[in-house]
């Protein structure tokens, strides 16, 4: 460096007479390129800005995160019971802030091997809801013990942590609800138990968070709605999709009529694994001694002999579950109901079958083939809204088809992100398309959660990354679990209800739940009875 510094000085002294016009010209020869560059960048930015502004006038949607209900109330402390701790139960308790130490050990080990595994970090960063788990109930001893270990893990530790047992195990839900130890209860049992437990809780004034499908039958949906309406509880149904920002944004877009009159909506489910098809592992310790089989079968009209296969894979039989209708159609329907307030359809027609999971050799079943279909499609008609909602599902193919809302002026693709395109033949955008301000092959609006600005000019790389979930899976800059937000909303509403002395309803309340349940049941009845099923809105009955 020193040498370099001295060289020019020397040069000046020695060759001052030699730095002539030629030297200056050669030294500065390339600078005009910078002028051209600046001009180009200016023109390009201007072009982008005008395109964005024109589009923003056409599509008046902000990039801001939607406002969600939040309360300042952090008190009182709420005592929560958990009924059902199989697969969904642990996920819900984790979202509430309680996970099994053994689980945290696994996350810890995994994060050491793979630094991009943030499960442990995210769980520990999850907001403390000021609740404790005071009661657990599961018909399988192993699950009940696991639930107790999660409840005691108040410090969010691994196996080497300090645990304080706050919970007691109850053998029946009745004992749990009568214990006087719970203010609120999370119900993650099989579907055939949802109604009885929820009603019993409502009658005791215990707040309810219940998983979908809300009820197993139409009759149960009516009974549950009545019980909740006659109570003072805060009821939340487990459609955590309600917390997805892109859904809220899509509702805003629908309210602003951005895609025009909607005629067709397509939603779907695609899974391709035994787990996804509810062919869960059968726990080796599941015996008549460790499972309360009689209680499990209590609501069933026809009783069955003890079957670990039925106990652990209950979703495969209509006796306990609600099939693709209650389990997965409901998520999709609820998302569209959230966006468009569709309500219960005028009619439902469905078809499908057990087409894949019937190969004993391949491990699809042990003793008994399922009777719940693995390929299933539903057409829901809304003549008063002039539209059809199509749902189709395969549990034997992973091809993801996304959610699509198709209107005359444009269409919307929904995932974690929301993308809106104009239709080539749109009336609303005709002039702008002719003026080439709107290009039908490019989105007119893209909402990516966590991004601060809205841009028509989304770079292709950003779009690709976002669509693969590699970007912006955050809310307010933080990665969040929608199930956590959904439980938090329920807890917030309970506190707010206490503070205001009136019921503050969360986003997926009993009315939304009723619409979800009836819709799913209509579709299921259509399949089981092989006919089109109608909803008589005046008489409120399924015919």
Partner 1 sequence: MFKEKSASLLPCRGYSNGQLSMLVILRLAIGWHFLYEGISKILNPNWSSIGFLLDSKGLFSGMFHSLAANPDVVHSIDFLNAWGLAAIGLGLITGLLTQIATIAGMVLLAFYYLSHPPLITSEYAIPSEGSYLWVNKNLIEFFALWVLFLFPSGNRIGLDRFIFNRKK
Residue 115-144 contact track with partner 1, rule CB under 8 A, x = bound: xx-x--------------------------
Q: Which of 20, 39, 41, 371 binds partner 1 (CB under 8 A)?
A: 41
Comparing CB distances to partner 1, the nearer of 15 and 294 is 15
Q: Where are the beta strands (DSSP E) in 298-372?
A: 347-353
Q: Where are the beta strands (DSSP E) in 307-442?
A: 347-353, 375-382, 387-394, 403-407, 410-414, 418-422
CA distance 142 to 380: 41
Nearest-approach distance from CB 360 to partner 1, in angstroms: 36
CB 509 within 8 A of CB 240: no
- Residue 453 within binding range of partner 1, rule CB under 8 A: yes
DSSP, residue by residue, 240-287: GGGG-HHHHHHHHHHHTTTT-SEEEEEEEEE--STTTTT-PPPPTT-S
Nearest-approach distance from CB 24 to partner 1, in angstroms: 9
Handedness of CA 327, 328, 334, 340 (dihedral sign): negative
* Candidate segments 10-18, 197-205, 227-235, 377-385, binder of partner 1 by CB under 8 A: 10-18
3-state SS track over 11-34: HHHHHHHHCCHHHHHHHCCCHHHH
User: Tokens for 196?
Assistant: 């009885």
- Residue 29 within binding range of partner 1, rule CB under 8 A: yes
Q: Which of 395, 471, 485, 487 binds partner 1 (CB under 8 A)?
A: 471
Comparing CB distances to partner 1, the nearer of 23 and 431 is 23
Handedness of CA 195, 196, 202, 203 (dihedral sign): positive
User: Tokens for 472?
Assistant: 């912006």
* Candidate segments 34-42, 245-253, 374-382, 504-512, binder of partner 1 by CB under 8 A: 34-42
CA distance 268 to 520: 14
Comparing CB distances to partner 1, the nearer of 35 and 284 is 35
Nearest-approach distance from CB 109 to partner 1, in angstroms: 16
Q: Which of 4, 17, 72, 162 binds partner 1 (CB under 8 A)?
A: 4
User: Tokens for 104?
Assistant: 């945290």
Comparing CB distances to partner 1, the nearer of 406 and 457 is 457
Helix-strand-coil split of the chain, %, nearest 5: 40, 15, 40
- Residue 1 within binding range of partner 1, rule CB under 8 A: no
Q: Which of 17, 162, 302, 461 binds partner 1 (CB under 8 A)?
A: 461
Residue 270-309 contact track with partner 1, rule CB under 8 A, x = bound: ----------------------------------------
- Residue 465 within binding range of partner 1, rule CB under 8 A: yes
Comparing CB distances to partner 1, the nearer of 28 and 543 is 28
- Residue 261 within binding range of partner 1, rule CB under 8 A: no
Q: Which of 1, 28, 67, 543 binds partner 1 (CB under 8 A)?
A: 28
Comparing CB distances to partner 1, the nearer of 13 and 361 is 13
Comparing CB distances to partner 1, the nearer of 284 and 477 is 477
Long-range contacts, 111-115 (Cβ 8 Å, 24+): none
CA distance 479 to 367: 43
Comparing CB distances to partner 1, the nearer of 27 and 155 is 27
Residue whose tokens read 């707010």:
496
Comparing CB distances to partner 1, the nearer of 162 and 453 is 453
Using only the alpha carbons of the chain, give its radius of gyration: 29
Residue whose tokens read 């693969």:
468
Residue 44-73 contact track with partner 1, rule CB under 8 A, x = bound: -x----------------------------
Assign 406 to helix, strand or coil: strand
CB 421 within 8 A of CB 438: no
Q: At what angle do helices 482-500 and 88-96 cross, to 10 degrees?
A: 60
Comparing CB distances to partner 1, the nearer of 29 and 543 is 29
User: Tokens for 10?
Assistant: 């020397």
Residue 475 pairs with which residues in a beta bridge?
Answer: 478
HSE-up (13 A, CA, CB side) for residue 476: 6
* Candidate segments 6-14, 75-83, 163-171, 355-363, binder of partner 1 by CB under 8 A: 6-14
- Residue 7 within binding range of partner 1, rule CB under 8 A: yes
- Residue 42 within binding range of partner 1, rule CB under 8 A: no
Nearest to 169 by CA among 194, 191, 150: 150
Q: Which of 470, 500, 528, 530 binds partner 1 (CB under 8 A)?
A: 470
CA distance 342 to 332: 12
Residue 71-110 contact track with partner 1, rule CB under 8 A, x = bound: ----------------------------------------
- Residue 451 within binding range of partner 1, rule CB under 8 A: yes
Residues that bind partner 1 (CB under 8 A): 4, 7-8, 10-11, 15, 19, 23, 26-31, 33-34, 37, 41, 45, 114-116, 118, 451-453, 455, 459-462, 464-466, 468, 470-471
């Amino acid at each position: 460096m020193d040498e370099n510094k001295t060289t020019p000085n020397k040069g000046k002294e020695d060759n001052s007479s030699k730095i002539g016009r030629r030297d200056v010209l050669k030294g500065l020869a390339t600078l005009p390129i910078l002028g051209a560059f600046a001009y180009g960048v200016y023109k390009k930015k201007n072009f982008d800005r005008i395109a964005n502004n024109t589009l923003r006038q056409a599509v008046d949607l902000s990039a801001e995160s939607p406002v969600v209900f939040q309360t300042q109330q952090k008190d009182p402390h709420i005592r929560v019971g958990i009924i059902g701790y199989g697969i969904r139960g642990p996920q819900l308790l984790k979202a509430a802030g309680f996970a099994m130490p053994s689980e945290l050990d696994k996350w810890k080990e995994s994060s050491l091997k793979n630094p991009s595994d943030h499960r442990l970090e995210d769980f520990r960063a999850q907001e403390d809801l000021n609740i404790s788990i005071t009661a657990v109930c599961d018909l399988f001893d192993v699950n009940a013990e696991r639930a107790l270990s999660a409840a005691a893990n108040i410090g969010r530790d691994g196996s080497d942590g300090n645990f304080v047992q706050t919970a007691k195990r109850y053998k029946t839900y009745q004992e749990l609800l009568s214990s006087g130890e719970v203010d609120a209860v999370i119900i993650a049992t099989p579907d055939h138990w949802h109604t009885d437990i929820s009603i019993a809780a409502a009658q005791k004034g215990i707040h309810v968070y219940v998983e979908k499908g809300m009820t197993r039958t139409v009759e149960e949906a009516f009974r549950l709605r009545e019980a909740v309406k006659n109570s003072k509880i805060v009821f939340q149904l487990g459609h955590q999709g309600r917390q997805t920002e892109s859904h809220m944004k899509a509702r805003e877009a629908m309210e602003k009529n951005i895609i025009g009159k909607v005629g067709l909506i397509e939603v779907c489910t695609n899974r391709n694994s035994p787990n996804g098809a509810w062919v869960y592992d059968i726990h080796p310790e599941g015996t008549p001694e460790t499972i309360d089989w009689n209680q499990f079968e209590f609501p069933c009209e026809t009783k069955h002999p003890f079957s670990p296969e039925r106990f652990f894979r209950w979703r495969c039989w209509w006796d306990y579950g609600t099939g693709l209708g209650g389990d997965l159609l409901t998520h999709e329907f609820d998302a569209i109901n959230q966006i468009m307030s569709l309500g219960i359809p005028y009619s439902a027609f469905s078809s499908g079958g057990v087409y894949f999971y019937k190969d004993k050799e391949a491990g699809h079943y042990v003793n008994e083939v399922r009777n719940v279909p693995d390929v299933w499609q539903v057409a829901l008609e809304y003549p008063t809204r002039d539209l059809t909602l199509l749902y189709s599902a395969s549990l034997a193919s992973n091809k993801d088809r996304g959610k699509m809302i198709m209107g005359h002026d444009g269409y919307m693709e929904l995932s974690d992100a929301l993308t809106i395109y104009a239709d080539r033949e749109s009336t609303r955008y005709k002039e702008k398309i002719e003026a080439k301000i709107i290009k039908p092959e490019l989105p007119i609006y893209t909402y990516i959660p966590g991004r601060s600005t809205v841009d028509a000019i989304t770079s292709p790389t950003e779009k690709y990354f976002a669509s693969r979930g590699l970007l912006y899976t955050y809310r307010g800059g933080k990665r969040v679990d929608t199930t956590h937000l959904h439980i938090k909303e329920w807890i917030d509403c309970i506190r707010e209800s206490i503070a205001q002395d009136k019921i503050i309803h969360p986003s997926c309340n009993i009315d939304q739940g009723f619409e979800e349940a009836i819709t799913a049941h209509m579709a299921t009845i259509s399949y089981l009875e092989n006919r089109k099923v109608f909803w008589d809105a005046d008489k409120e009955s399924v015919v």
